[in-house]
Structure 1
Amino acid sequence: MTITPTLSIRRFDASDTDAVVALWQQAFPEYRDATRPQRNPHLSIENKLATQPELFFVAVLDGRIVGTVMGGYDGHRGWLYSLAVDEALRRHGIGTRLVAHVENTLTALGCPKLNLQVLSAKADIQAFYEALGYRADAVISLGKRLGKFADAVPAT
Protein backbone atom coordinates (compact mmCIF):
# COMPACT_ATOMS: atom_id res chain seq x y z
CA MET A 1 0.00 0.00 0.00
CA THR A 2 1.36 3.40 -1.04
CA ILE A 3 0.55 6.39 1.10
CA THR A 4 0.19 9.60 -0.92
CA PRO A 5 1.55 12.62 0.93
CA THR A 6 -0.91 15.45 1.43
CA LEU A 7 -0.01 19.04 0.72
CA SER A 8 -1.66 21.64 2.92
CA ILE A 9 -1.49 25.41 2.82
CA ARG A 10 -1.76 27.38 6.03
CA ARG A 11 -0.83 30.72 7.54
CA PHE A 12 2.78 31.25 8.48
CA ASP A 13 3.60 30.80 12.16
CA ALA A 14 6.68 32.26 13.86
CA SER A 15 7.91 28.71 14.52
CA ASP A 16 8.23 28.35 10.71
CA THR A 17 10.93 31.04 10.49
CA ASP A 18 14.03 28.83 10.21
CA ALA A 19 12.45 26.58 7.59
CA VAL A 20 11.22 29.56 5.56
CA VAL A 21 14.61 31.29 5.68
CA ALA A 22 16.31 28.09 4.50
CA LEU A 23 13.81 27.72 1.65
CA TRP A 24 14.19 31.36 0.60
CA GLN A 25 17.97 31.11 0.63
CA GLN A 26 17.64 28.13 -1.70
CA ALA A 27 15.05 29.75 -3.98
CA PHE A 28 16.33 33.33 -3.97
CA PRO A 29 20.15 33.52 -4.24
CA GLU A 30 20.02 37.24 -3.45
CA TYR A 31 18.97 36.33 0.11
CA ARG A 32 22.48 34.87 0.54
CA ASP A 33 24.16 38.09 -0.69
CA ALA A 34 25.39 40.15 2.29
CA THR A 35 25.91 43.17 -0.01
CA ARG A 36 22.11 43.44 -0.35
CA PRO A 37 20.90 44.27 3.15
CA GLN A 38 17.39 44.92 1.82
CA ARG A 39 17.23 41.20 0.96
CA ASN A 40 17.53 39.97 4.55
CA PRO A 41 14.99 37.14 4.88
CA HIS A 42 14.58 37.70 8.62
CA LEU A 43 13.73 41.35 7.97
CA SER A 44 11.24 40.33 5.26
CA ILE A 45 9.50 38.00 7.71
CA GLU A 46 9.53 40.61 10.48
CA ASN A 47 8.03 43.23 8.15
CA LYS A 48 5.33 40.88 6.89
CA LEU A 49 4.34 39.89 10.42
CA ALA A 50 3.86 43.61 11.13
CA THR A 51 1.77 44.16 7.97
CA GLN A 52 -1.03 41.78 6.99
CA PRO A 53 0.43 38.60 8.52
CA GLU A 54 -2.80 36.85 7.57
CA LEU A 55 -1.59 37.00 3.95
CA PHE A 56 1.63 35.02 4.55
CA PHE A 57 1.21 31.34 3.68
CA VAL A 58 3.32 28.20 3.73
CA ALA A 59 2.83 24.92 1.89
CA VAL A 60 3.46 21.88 4.08
CA LEU A 61 4.14 18.37 2.80
CA ASP A 62 4.68 15.52 5.26
CA GLY A 63 5.24 18.03 8.05
CA ARG A 64 7.91 19.95 6.13
CA ILE A 65 7.61 23.46 4.67
CA VAL A 66 8.07 23.15 0.91
CA GLY A 67 6.67 26.46 -0.32
CA THR A 68 5.79 30.02 0.60
CA VAL A 69 3.84 32.93 -0.77
CA MET A 70 2.91 36.37 0.52
CA GLY A 71 0.02 38.53 -0.54
CA GLY A 72 -0.72 42.16 0.04
CA TYR A 73 -3.79 44.32 -0.50
CA ASP A 74 -4.10 48.07 -0.06
CA GLY A 75 -7.78 48.36 -1.01
CA HIS A 76 -6.92 49.24 -4.61
CA ARG A 77 -4.58 46.52 -5.89
CA GLY A 78 -3.25 43.24 -4.59
CA TRP A 79 0.33 42.05 -4.74
CA LEU A 80 1.93 38.63 -4.78
CA TYR A 81 5.41 38.22 -3.29
CA SER A 82 7.95 35.61 -2.28
CA LEU A 83 6.52 32.62 -4.10
CA ALA A 84 9.07 29.90 -3.44
CA VAL A 85 8.98 26.12 -3.83
CA ASP A 86 11.65 23.65 -2.76
CA GLU A 87 13.70 23.05 -5.91
CA ALA A 88 13.39 19.26 -5.55
CA LEU A 89 9.59 19.56 -5.67
CA ARG A 90 9.09 22.05 -8.48
CA ARG A 91 6.77 21.22 -11.39
CA HIS A 92 4.41 19.28 -9.13
CA GLY A 93 1.74 21.98 -8.81
CA ILE A 94 2.81 23.41 -5.46
CA GLY A 95 3.51 26.90 -6.83
CA THR A 96 0.25 26.84 -8.77
CA ARG A 97 -1.67 25.92 -5.62
CA LEU A 98 0.03 28.67 -3.61
CA VAL A 99 -0.82 31.28 -6.27
CA ALA A 100 -4.44 30.07 -6.38
CA HIS A 101 -4.59 30.28 -2.58
CA VAL A 102 -3.52 33.93 -2.59
CA GLU A 103 -5.84 34.71 -5.52
CA ASN A 104 -8.81 33.17 -3.68
CA THR A 105 -7.95 34.92 -0.42
CA LEU A 106 -7.61 38.32 -2.08
CA THR A 107 -10.75 37.79 -4.17
CA ALA A 108 -12.66 37.15 -0.94
CA LEU A 109 -11.36 40.50 0.34
CA GLY A 110 -12.75 42.25 -2.76
CA CYS A 111 -9.41 42.71 -4.51
CA PRO A 112 -10.03 43.52 -8.21
CA LYS A 113 -6.50 42.95 -9.59
CA LEU A 114 -3.35 41.17 -8.52
CA ASN A 115 0.10 42.46 -9.46
CA LEU A 116 3.50 40.84 -9.23
CA GLN A 117 7.00 41.56 -10.42
CA VAL A 118 9.49 39.21 -12.03
CA LEU A 119 13.13 40.05 -12.66
CA SER A 120 13.56 40.55 -16.41
CA ALA A 121 16.35 37.95 -16.53
CA LYS A 122 14.06 35.20 -15.20
CA ALA A 123 12.22 34.09 -18.35
CA ASP A 124 11.28 30.71 -16.81
CA ILE A 125 9.54 32.42 -13.91
CA GLN A 126 7.73 34.77 -16.30
CA ALA A 127 6.57 31.75 -18.32
CA PHE A 128 5.22 30.11 -15.14
CA TYR A 129 3.04 33.14 -14.38
CA GLU A 130 1.95 33.52 -18.00
CA ALA A 131 0.74 29.90 -17.93
CA LEU A 132 -1.44 30.92 -14.96
CA GLY A 133 -3.00 33.78 -16.95
CA TYR A 134 -0.79 36.69 -15.90
CA ARG A 135 0.16 39.17 -18.61
CA ALA A 136 2.66 42.02 -18.77
CA ASP A 137 0.97 45.35 -18.13
CA ALA A 138 1.99 48.37 -20.19
CA VAL A 139 3.76 49.97 -17.23
CA ILE A 140 7.30 50.58 -16.12
CA SER A 141 8.15 49.50 -12.61
CA LEU A 142 10.12 52.12 -10.71
CA GLY A 143 11.72 51.68 -7.32
CA LYS A 144 13.48 53.77 -4.73
CA ARG A 145 15.24 52.58 -1.60
CA LEU A 146 14.16 54.42 1.55
CA GLY A 147 15.62 55.03 5.00
CA LYS A 148 18.58 52.89 5.96
CA PHE A 149 18.43 51.16 2.57
CA ALA A 150 18.73 54.38 0.54
CA ASP A 151 22.42 53.82 -0.13
CA ALA A 152 22.08 50.09 -0.83
CA VAL A 153 22.67 48.49 -4.20
CA PRO A 154 20.11 49.71 -6.80
CA ALA A 155 16.75 47.94 -6.81
CA THR A 156 16.62 44.56 -8.51
Structure 2
Amino acid sequence: MTTNTTLSIRRFDASDTDAVIALWQAVFPEYHDVTRPQRNPRLSIANKLATQPELFFLALLDGRIVGTVMGGYDGHRGWLYSLAVDASLRRHGIGTRLVAHVESELTRRGCPKLNLQVLSSATPEVRAFYDALGYRADAVISLGKRLGEYADAAPAG
Protein backbone atom coordinates (compact mmCIF):
# COMPACT_ATOMS: atom_id res chain seq x y z
CA MET A 1 0.00 0.00 0.00
CA THR A 2 1.20 3.46 -0.76
CA THR A 3 0.49 6.66 1.12
CA ASN A 4 -1.90 7.68 -1.70
CA THR A 5 -4.27 4.76 -1.15
CA THR A 6 -7.44 4.93 0.91
CA LEU A 7 -8.66 1.96 2.93
CA SER A 8 -12.27 1.92 4.02
CA ILE A 9 -14.50 -0.62 5.72
CA ARG A 10 -18.16 -1.00 4.89
CA ARG A 11 -20.96 -3.54 5.07
CA PHE A 12 -21.29 -6.22 2.44
CA ASP A 13 -23.81 -5.66 -0.35
CA ALA A 14 -25.21 -8.44 -2.57
CA SER A 15 -23.51 -6.79 -5.57
CA ASP A 16 -20.16 -7.64 -3.90
CA THR A 17 -20.78 -11.40 -4.12
CA ASP A 18 -18.57 -12.29 -7.09
CA ALA A 19 -15.63 -10.21 -5.86
CA VAL A 20 -15.87 -11.72 -2.37
CA ILE A 21 -16.02 -15.26 -3.76
CA ALA A 22 -12.95 -14.58 -5.91
CA LEU A 23 -11.06 -13.31 -2.85
CA TRP A 24 -12.13 -16.25 -0.69
CA GLN A 25 -11.16 -18.78 -3.35
CA ALA A 26 -7.72 -17.17 -3.54
CA VAL A 27 -7.27 -17.03 0.25
CA PHE A 28 -9.00 -20.19 1.49
CA PRO A 29 -7.77 -23.38 -0.23
CA GLU A 30 -10.59 -25.37 1.40
CA TYR A 31 -13.07 -23.66 -0.92
CA HIS A 32 -11.60 -25.79 -3.70
CA ASP A 33 -11.91 -29.08 -1.74
CA VAL A 34 -14.86 -31.04 -3.13
CA THR A 35 -14.84 -33.27 -0.04
CA ARG A 36 -16.02 -30.23 1.95
CA PRO A 37 -19.37 -29.32 0.41
CA GLN A 38 -20.11 -27.14 3.44
CA ARG A 39 -17.33 -24.83 2.21
CA ASN A 40 -19.50 -23.37 -0.52
CA PRO A 41 -18.85 -19.62 -0.63
CA ARG A 42 -22.25 -18.81 -2.16
CA LEU A 43 -23.96 -20.74 0.63
CA SER A 44 -21.80 -18.99 3.26
CA ILE A 45 -22.81 -15.61 1.87
CA ALA A 46 -26.50 -16.53 1.61
CA ASN A 47 -26.50 -17.83 5.19
CA LYS A 48 -24.82 -14.68 6.49
CA LEU A 49 -27.29 -12.47 4.65
CA ALA A 50 -30.08 -14.39 6.40
CA THR A 51 -28.45 -14.06 9.85
CA GLN A 52 -26.99 -10.77 11.08
CA PRO A 53 -26.02 -9.39 7.66
CA GLU A 54 -25.07 -6.15 9.39
CA LEU A 55 -22.00 -7.98 10.74
CA PHE A 56 -20.50 -8.81 7.32
CA PHE A 57 -17.78 -6.29 6.45
CA LEU A 58 -15.47 -5.58 3.55
CA ALA A 59 -12.19 -3.73 3.36
CA LEU A 60 -11.83 -1.66 0.22
CA LEU A 61 -8.64 -0.16 -1.06
CA ASP A 62 -9.37 2.62 -3.52
CA GLY A 63 -12.74 0.97 -4.18
CA ARG A 64 -11.44 -2.60 -4.68
CA ILE A 65 -12.44 -5.35 -2.24
CA VAL A 66 -9.23 -6.53 -0.55
CA GLY A 67 -10.55 -8.05 2.68
CA THR A 68 -13.57 -9.56 4.39
CA VAL A 69 -14.68 -10.46 7.88
CA MET A 70 -17.90 -11.74 9.39
CA GLY A 71 -19.02 -11.43 12.98
CA GLY A 72 -21.81 -13.09 14.88
CA TYR A 73 -23.33 -12.72 18.34
CA ASP A 74 -25.80 -15.08 19.97
CA GLY A 75 -26.25 -13.13 23.21
CA HIS A 76 -23.66 -15.26 25.03
CA ARG A 77 -20.50 -14.80 22.98
CA GLY A 78 -19.40 -13.49 19.66
CA TRP A 79 -17.68 -15.21 16.79
CA LEU A 80 -15.27 -14.06 14.13
CA TYR A 81 -15.44 -15.74 10.71
CA SER A 82 -14.04 -15.50 7.21
CA LEU A 83 -11.24 -13.02 7.85
CA ALA A 84 -9.55 -12.81 4.47
CA VAL A 85 -7.01 -10.35 3.10
CA ASP A 86 -5.61 -10.30 -0.41
CA ALA A 87 -2.24 -12.08 -0.13
CA SER A 88 -0.40 -9.27 -1.92
CA LEU A 89 -1.60 -6.75 0.70
CA ARG A 90 -0.91 -8.60 3.93
CA ARG A 91 1.16 -6.98 6.67
CA HIS A 92 -0.34 -3.55 5.98
CA GLY A 93 -2.88 -3.57 8.82
CA ILE A 94 -5.95 -4.51 6.79
CA GLY A 95 -6.70 -7.67 8.78
CA THR A 96 -6.05 -5.85 12.04
CA ARG A 97 -8.49 -3.10 11.07
CA LEU A 98 -11.15 -5.62 10.06
CA VAL A 99 -10.82 -7.48 13.37
CA ALA A 100 -10.94 -4.21 15.32
CA HIS A 101 -14.07 -3.23 13.40
CA VAL A 102 -15.88 -6.44 14.35
CA GLU A 103 -14.67 -6.18 17.94
CA SER A 104 -16.07 -2.65 18.12
CA GLU A 105 -19.43 -3.65 16.63
CA LEU A 106 -19.78 -6.60 19.00
CA THR A 107 -18.71 -4.53 22.01
CA ARG A 108 -21.47 -2.02 21.16
CA ARG A 109 -23.93 -4.93 21.31
CA GLY A 110 -22.71 -5.91 24.80
CA CYS A 111 -20.72 -8.95 23.69
CA PRO A 112 -18.39 -9.99 26.54
CA LYS A 113 -16.16 -12.45 24.65
CA LEU A 114 -15.19 -13.08 21.05
CA ASN A 115 -14.20 -16.53 19.81
CA LEU A 116 -12.67 -17.68 16.57
CA GLN A 117 -11.43 -20.94 15.19
CA VAL A 118 -8.50 -21.57 12.91
CA LEU A 119 -7.98 -24.80 11.05
CA SER A 120 -5.35 -27.04 12.58
CA SER A 121 -3.58 -26.83 9.22
CA ALA A 122 -3.27 -23.03 9.49
CA THR A 123 0.19 -21.63 8.99
CA PRO A 124 2.23 -20.35 11.92
CA GLU A 125 1.76 -16.85 10.49
CA VAL A 126 -2.01 -17.14 10.97
CA ARG A 127 -1.57 -18.10 14.64
CA ALA A 128 1.00 -15.34 15.13
CA PHE A 129 -1.40 -12.78 13.65
CA TYR A 130 -4.13 -13.66 16.14
CA ASP A 131 -1.62 -13.92 19.01
CA ALA A 132 -0.46 -10.36 18.23
CA LEU A 133 -4.08 -9.19 18.51
CA GLY A 134 -4.45 -10.75 21.96
CA TYR A 135 -6.27 -13.96 21.05
CA ARG A 136 -5.26 -17.01 23.06
CA ALA A 137 -6.14 -20.68 22.91
CA ASP A 138 -8.97 -21.45 25.32
CA ALA A 139 -8.90 -24.60 27.40
CA VAL A 140 -11.70 -26.16 25.35
CA ILE A 141 -12.09 -28.78 22.69
CA SER A 142 -14.03 -27.74 19.64
CA LEU A 143 -16.61 -30.32 18.65
CA GLY A 144 -18.71 -30.31 15.53
CA LYS A 145 -21.44 -32.25 13.86
CA ARG A 146 -22.55 -31.95 10.26
CA LEU A 147 -26.30 -31.58 9.83
CA GLY A 148 -28.78 -32.25 7.03
CA GLU A 149 -27.30 -32.71 3.59
CA TYR A 150 -23.79 -32.18 5.04
CA ALA A 151 -24.06 -35.06 7.56
CA ASP A 152 -22.04 -37.39 5.35
CA ALA A 153 -19.35 -34.84 4.49
CA ALA A 154 -15.75 -35.39 5.51
CA PRO A 155 -15.27 -34.48 9.19
CA ALA A 156 -12.37 -32.08 8.59
CA GLY A 157 -12.90 -28.32 8.93
Band the TM-score falls in, shorter-chain normalisation: over 0.9
Matches of 2:41 and 2:3, distance apart in 1: 34
Matches of 1:10 and 1:3, distance apart in 2: 21
Superposed, 1:137-152 pairs within 5 Å as 137-152=138-153
Runs of 4+ in 1 over 6 A off after TM superposition: none
Is 2:76 aligned against 1:76?
yes
Per the alignment, residue 133 of structure 1 pairs with: 134
Aligned CA RMSD, in angstroms, stands at 1.1
Q: Secondary structure at the match of 2:69?
A: strand
Q: Which amino acid aligns with 2:68?
A: T
Note the residue ranges of structure 1 that are not aligned, 5 or more in a row. Answer: none
Question: For each residue in 1:16-54, what CA deviation from the matched residue of structure 2 results, as whole angstroms up to 9, or x when unmatched?
Answer: 000000000001011112221100000000000000000
Q: Which amino acid aligns with 1:144?
A: K
Per the alignment, residue 53 of structure 1 pairs with: 53
Q: Among the aligned pairs, what percent are the same residue?
A: 81
Matches of 2:148 and 2:3, distance apart in 1: 51
Matches of 2:33 and 2:13, distance apart in 1: 25
Matches of 1:138 and 1:29, distance apart in 2: 28
TM-score (normalizing by structure 1): 0.97
Note the residue ranges of structure 2 that are not aligned, 5 or more in a row. Answer: none
Q: Secondary structure at the match of 2:38?
A: helix
Instruction: Give the paired residue count.
Output: 155
Conserved 8 A contact 1:71-1:102: yes
Is 2:8 aligned against 1:8?
yes
Is 2:40 aligned against 1:40?
yes
TM-score (normalizing by structure 2): 0.96
Q: Which amino acid aligns with 1:126?
A: R
| Structure 1, 121-130 or 98-107: larger mean CA deviation | 121-130
Matches of 2:116 and 2:108, distance apart in 1: 19
